[in-house]
Amino acid sequence: MKNYNIQDIISNSTISTGLKLIAEKVFNNERITKIDGVLLYKTNDIGFLASLANYIREKMHGDKTYFNKNFHIEPTNICIYDCEFCSYKKKITDKESWEYSLKDILEISKSYEGKDITEVHIVGGVHPKRDLHYYGKMISEIKKILPNVHVKGFTAVELEFMIRKAGYELHNGLRKLKEYGLDSIPGGGAEIFDEEIRKQICDDKASTNQWLEIHEAAHSIGLPSNATILYGHVESYENRIDHLSRLRELQDKTQGFNTFIPLKYRKENNRMSHIGEVSTIEDLKNYAVSRIFLDNIPHLKAYWPMIGKNTTQISLGFGVDDIDGTIDDTTKIYSMAGVEDKTPTMTTKNLVDFIKASKRKPLERDSVYNVIREY
């Protein structure tokens, strides 16, 4: 791979005029357009994309690479929805469905007492019988056991249902969950915002506008959140840029997104398997374009249990500055969708060595990116 020095890009005769103009905009701190974004996706000059994304990454964060110490709770795989790409959900009547009781969840939480963990990420299916008070109680009980742990919980899709089921207006529902102890919202459920593609892959759940409204409402009451895209299936580059653009617009209004997490479609055990999976080059391209286009979201995360450890390491040269956390073998979403690592866990030492091996500087962060420790 060719790696360009930033000044070289402008004078390099092998780089197209269109790409040079985009690079000039980036150096001049000018926002790139949607057309520019599609052009970036369409180039095969991976060296160019890496150089530009890395320029932005290093301007924002230098060599700093963030991780956190976290675990997941997935309360249930029972879900009323039926997304084409989902390998995880089961109907309540299905014998492979499961739901942890509140007692189970408190047992799991107790097993982290006294451990050096700063975040619990709660995510699961949309259970027909559970509303915001059920999950609110779960959060407040977890916090009694782990008072200093940040609760990042529930995708906008889960929130839309639990708030509606409890008969609350959106802002009041989110306020109520905040009172119960919710600290921030993860980025899931975004999938692809283009309404036509969304209809093809996840017709029945919260719409694009509802996803955006929920995050906007959360930001307005002081709940920060993350954003995702599910890429590498039936969407086009134009659809990806449209998605990034809607996020960039909302972030201009609220500044509430902390990090953007591209989620690669994984093909096992779901109804879209015939589509296959995109290449690693495509993954790296997607990180780079996301970093270049999203000029107002501070962090870009490679979620290592989903993308794999090797690609995560390489992604640190393609704009990524954040690699999520220790996880501790507490998520099933990706192993069920075919990811090789069925028991995702990294110790702090693993994570630190892993980042150092890429010649970057490991920093342990909390959930809102305050630095806890430098290594």
In this chain, which of 8, 24, 82, 249 binds ligand SF4, going by CB under 6 A?
Answer: 82
Q: Which of the choices ligand V47, ligand SF4, none does residue 266 contact, using the CB cut-off of 5 to 8 A by kind?
A: ligand V47
Q: Cα–Cα distance between 58 and 60 in angstroms, integer?
A: 5
Sheet containing strand 322-325, strands side by side: 322-325, 64-68, 361-365, 371-374
Please state the closest distance from residue 144 (CB atom) to ligand SF4, in A.
28
Provide the sign of the torsion angle of the four alpha carbons 68, 226, 357, 341, taken in this order. Answer: positive
Q: Does 155 sit near ligand V47 (CB under 6 A)?
A: yes
Please state the closest distance from residue 264 (CB atom) to ligand SF4, in A.
14
Kindly determine how many residues on this chain lie close enough to bind ligand SF4 according to the rule CB under 6 A: 12
Q: Which of the choices ligand V47, ligand SF4, none does residue 333 contact, using the CB cut-off of 5 to 8 A by kind?
A: ligand V47
Q: Which of the choices ligand SF4, ligand V47, none does residue 81 contact, using the CB cut-off of 5 to 8 A by kind?
A: ligand SF4
Q: Which of the choices ligand SF4, ligand V47, none does residue 75 contact, using the CB cut-off of 5 to 8 A by kind?
A: none
Q: Does 191 sit near ligand V47 (CB under 6 A)?
A: yes
Provide the sign of the torsion angle of the four alpha carbons 238, 241, 291, 324, taken in this order. Answer: negative
Angle in degrees, 0-180, between the axes of helices 170-180 and 132-145, rounded to the nearest 10: 20
In this chain, which of 41, 66, 67, 88 binds ligand SF4, going by CB under 6 A?
Answer: 88
Q: Does 270 sit near ligand V47 (CB under 6 A)?
A: yes
Q: Which helix (H) or strand (E) holds 42?
A: helix 34-42
Q: Which of the choices ligand SF4, ligand V47, none does residue 337 contact, using the CB cut-off of 5 to 8 A by kind?
A: ligand V47
Please state the closest distance from residue 96 (CB atom) to ligand V47, in A.
16
In this chain, which of 151, 230, 250, 352 binds ligand V47, going by CB under 6 A?
Answer: 230
Q: Does 186 sit near ligand V47 (CB under 6 A)?
A: yes
Given a contact cutoff of 8 angstroms between Cβ atoms, the answer to whether 370 and 183 are in contact is no
Per DSSP, the residues of 260-287 read EEEEE---TTSTTGGG----HHHHHHHH
Would you say 125 or 308 has its CB closer to ligand SF4? 125
In this chain, which of 4, 41, 67, 85 binds ligand V47, going by CB under 6 A?
Answer: 85
In this chain, which of 54, 68, 76, 228 binds ligand V47, going by CB under 6 A?
Answer: 228
Q: Which of the choices ligand SF4, ligand V47, none does residue 125 contact, using the CB cut-off of 5 to 8 A by kind?
A: ligand SF4
Residue in 126, 25, 38, 128 with CA at minimum distance from that of residue 83: 126
Would you say 86 or 292 has its CB closer to ligand V47? 86
Given a contact cutoff of 8 angstroms between Cβ atoms, the answer to whether 235 and 260 are in contact is no
For the chain, how many residues are written?
375
Residue with tokens 């609110």: 136
Per DSSP, the residues of 85-103 read T-SS-B-TTSTT--B--HH
Would you say 75 or 344 has its CB closer to ligand SF4? 75
Task: Indicate the SS3 state at residue 12.
Answer: coil
- Interacting positions 134-193 with ligand SF4 (CB under 6 A): 157
Q: Which stretch binds ligand SF4 (CB under 6 A): 29-37, 82-90, 165-173, 242-250?
A: 82-90
Please state the closest distance from residue 361 (CB atom) to ligand V47, in A.
21
Q: Environment class of residue 338 by beta-carbon count within 10 Å: exposed (0-12), middle (13-18) or buried (19+)? A: middle
Residue in 204, 213, 129 with CA at minimum distance from that of residue 166: 129
Q: Does 125 sit near ligand SF4 (CB under 6 A)?
A: yes
Write out the residues near ligand SF4 by the rule CB under 6 A: 79, 81-83, 86, 88-89, 125-126, 157, 202, 205
